[in-house]
């Protein structure tokens, strides 16, 4: 059996009882180690907690070496641990399909994900549109395909969850070119960098998906003891020190319910300004009234 086990968001004990029971009976335990991090537990702490060795699975192992992970999984139990939920903003469907093609049974053990825990900022999950990922810009690679999705969400008034890039076990271009297995220290995008990149792309695209004054909420270290929220305009959050990773951002949609706003005001430095920004944003993006087609008299 291949078990895909969600670990939840922060602590070693966030694993579910069913997940822990599955891990304990497995002969090999892999921890997916490139899309997220378990903020309050190291590999060693997990090994002690499970009573098992934990093998770190980087992108290369998962994408090119999945045969190693699936080896003998038709005869013995193998666990593949994913921080959050195995299907929350991560695509491990490929591994599942490969297992199925080899007639290896698969069981999924779900857990909390950033995709649902984000609701603890007070915004209704029902009112979210498409989620986007913000990657680190480089000198010659500044992708902006996410901009169209923000525009679509904002046109119909929905909030946009922005997931921020993390780089774990990445090689520099030079080391890659020379075939040197030297890895850069891990990097996690901050809220301020994400907001700066948002502002830069609005400057170049100019379709007014949002403005510097559009309200947003910064969400840091969800589910940990230092979980923090900060409400502000994109321009203000571009100056915000969000502290240790992990971080996400929500760009507000026009359909911000009064109760959602009340909740967000708790996280604003200047409540009146934030409320005014929300009202101004709603006015700015108010769609033209819908005009029904003329009916023919004859
Ligand atoms: C590719 S997603 C993986 C999501 C994970 N599988 C889950 O279900 O939560 C990773 C990104 O989600 C966001 N994220 C994940 N956990 C978070 C947390 N506890 N607090 C804030 N943001 C988080 C960060 O932007 C991070 O870079």
pLDDT at residue 242 above 70?
A: yes
- Count how many Cα atoms sit within 13 Å of the Cα of residue 191 in the half-sphere of its side chain: 31
pLDDT of residue 1: 96
- Condensed to tens digits (0 to 9), the pLDDT of residues 210-232 reads 999 999 999 999 999 999 999 99
Can you tell me the mean pLDDT for 14-32?
Answer: 97
pLDDT at residue 249 above 90?
A: yes
Nearest CA to ligand 1 atom 5: 84
pLDDT of residue 117: 97
Q: What DSSP state is assigned to residue 145?
A: T
Answer whether 8 contacts ligand 1 (Cβ < 6 A): no
Answer whether 4 contacts ligand 1 (Cβ < 6 A): no
- Condensed to tens digits (0 to 9), the pLDDT of residues 171-194 reads 778 888 888 878 888 999 999 999
Can you tell me the mean pLDDT for 195-213?
Answer: 97
pLDDT of residue 298: 64
pLDDT at residue 74 above 90?
A: yes
Check if the beta carbon of residue 40 is closer than 8 Å to that of residue 12: yes
> CB neighbours (10 Å) of residue 140?
5
pLDDT bin (cut points 50, 70, 90) of residue 288 is confident
Atom of ligand 1 nearest to the CA of 82: 6
Return the residue matching tokens 């006015």: 283
- Condensed to tens digits (0 to 9), the pLDDT of residues 118-164 reads 999 999 999 999 999 999 999 999 999 999 999 999 999 999 999 99
Answer whether 29 contacts ligand 1 (Cβ < 6 A): no
- Condensed to tens digits (0 to 9), the pLDDT of residues 78-133 reads 999 999 999 998 778 999 999 999 999 999 999 999 999 999 999 999 999 999 99
Q: Which helix (H) or strand (E) holds 230?
A: strand 228-233
According to DSSP, the β-strands at 78-82 and 228-233 are unpaired
pLDDT of residue 73: 95
Answer whether 90 contacts ligand 1 (Cβ < 6 A): yes
pLDDT of residue 39: 92
pLDDT at residue 286 above 90?
A: no
Answer whether 153 contacts ligand 1 (Cβ < 6 A): no
Which range (178-182, 200-204, 241-245) has the least confidence? 178-182
According to DSSP, the β-strands at 166-167 and 187-188 are antiparallel
> CB neighbours (10 Å) of residue 172?
12
pLDDT of residue 255: 86
Q: Please report, rounded to a whole number, the percentage of residues in the chain having pLDDT higher than 90.
A: 82
Residues across the chain = 298
Q: What is the pTM of this model?
A: 0.94
């Amino acid at each position: 059996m291949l078990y895909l086990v969600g670990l939840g968001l922060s602590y070693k004990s966030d694993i579910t009882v069913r997940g822990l029971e599955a891990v304990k009976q497995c002969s090999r335990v892999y921890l997916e180690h490139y899309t997220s991090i378990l903020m309050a537990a190291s590999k060693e702490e997990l090994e002690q907690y499970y009573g098992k060795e934990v093998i770190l699975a980087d992108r290369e192992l998962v994408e090119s070496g999945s045969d190693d992970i699936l080896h003998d999984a038709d005869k013995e139990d193998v666990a593949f641990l994913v921080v959050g939920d195995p299907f929350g903003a991560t695509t491990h469907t490929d591994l599942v399909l490969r297992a199925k093609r080899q007639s290896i049974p698969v069981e999924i053990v779900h857990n909390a994900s950033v995709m649902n825990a984000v609701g603890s900022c007070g915004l209704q999950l029902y009112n979210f549109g498409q989620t986007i990922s913000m990657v680190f810009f480089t000198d010659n690679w500044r992708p902006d395909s996410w901009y169209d999705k923000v525009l679509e969400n904002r046109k119909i008034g929905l909030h946009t969850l922005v997931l921020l890039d993390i780089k774990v076990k990445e090689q520099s271009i030079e080391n890659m070119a020379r075939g040197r297995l030297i890895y850069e220290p891990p990097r996690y995008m901050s809220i301020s960098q994400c907001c700066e990149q948002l502002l830069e792309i609005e400057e170049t695209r100019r379709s007014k998906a949002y403005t510097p004054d559009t309200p947003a909420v910064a969400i840091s270290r969800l589910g940990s003891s230092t979980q923090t929220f900060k409400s502000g305009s994109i321009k203000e959050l571009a100056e915000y020190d969000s502290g240790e990773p992990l971080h996400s951002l929500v760009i507000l949609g026009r359909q911000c319910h009064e109760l959602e706003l009340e909740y967000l005001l708790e996280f604003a430095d200047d409540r009146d300004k934030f409320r005014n920004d929300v009202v101004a944003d709603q006015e700015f993006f108010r769609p033209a009234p819908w005009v029904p087609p003329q009916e023919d008299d004859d």
